[in-house]
Amino acid sequence: QKEVEQNSGPLSVPEGAIASLNCTYSDRGSQSFFWYRQYSGKSPELIMSIYSNGDKEDGRFTAQLNKASQYVSLLIRDSQPSDSATYLCAVDAGNMLTFGGGTRLMVKP
Amino acid sequence: GAVVSQHPSWVICKSGTSVKIECRSLDFQATTMFWYRQFPKQSLMLMATSNEGSKATYEQGVEKDKFLINHASLTLSTLTVTSAHPEDSSFYICSADSGSDTQYFGPGTRLTVL
């Protein structure tokens, strides 16, 4: 069974710090990787997608992928209280997403 | 771009009634739509994959006769919860594949069955 693992947290960081969110996956055939942000009571919102090894930066967000280690991470620089949410890692191995359980991030002013 | 809508956003119904939830891709055509359910403080659980013009593929443990899915066009999929009971109360979220292996989520429908 395809699995995506995340630390449930909560991960607490002070405002302005870097938040590091990690995710591992079991299916070596996975090709596409996504990070979604979900605020309480809301649906997930796509933040980043990454398809090849290395880093991909978009504003304050950087996604990192290491297929050999089956590991994908999300870095949030200059964390803001508005970044407080649950971050879901999702892995696509053939037109279907498998979600991790999510990591709850708390950014304290 | 890539906007997905759901209707209604909130519904309360009596036990035994049926509820229909609509999912629309507003600015793109989606050959594949997905239906998820999320209970409080839990992650998303995929219920079914809906392909336009064909029968939906249900995940293990999801009753296809209870959760009826119709994907009538490239922009509309519906989920009907038949004979709803309190244990069906949940947050139902649809997503649509834009064709680039990226899923965009609707805002969700919160169902409360009394």
Residues sharing a CB contact under 8 Å with residue A72, sequence separation 6 or more, in sequence order: A22, A23, A24, A25, A33, A35, A50, A63, A64, A65, A66, A89, A91
A-chain residue closest to B106, CA distance: A43
- A45–B103: do the CB atoms touch at under 8 Å? no
Q: Report the alpha-carbon angle A22-A104-A109, nearest 5.
A: 110
- A99–B32: do the CB atoms touch at under 8 Å? no
B-chain residue closest to A40, CA distance: B41
- B34–A31: do the CB atoms touch at under 8 Å? no
**What is the distance in angstroms between the Cα of B66 and the nearest Cα belonging to chain A?**
22
**What is the distance in angstroms between the Cα of A10 and the nearest Cα belonging to chain B?**
12
Residues of A in contact with B47 (CB under 8 A): none
C-alpha span between B94 and B78 (Å, rounded): 9
pLDDT digits (tens, 9 = 90+) for B1-55: 689 999 999 999 999 999 999 999 999 998 899 999 999 888 889 999 998 888 8
Percent of chain A having pLDDT more than 70? 97
Q: What's the average model confidence in pLDDT over B96-103?
A: 82
pLDDT at B59: 92
pLDDT digits (tens, 9 = 90+) for A20-54: 999 999 999 898 999 999 999 999 999 999 999 99
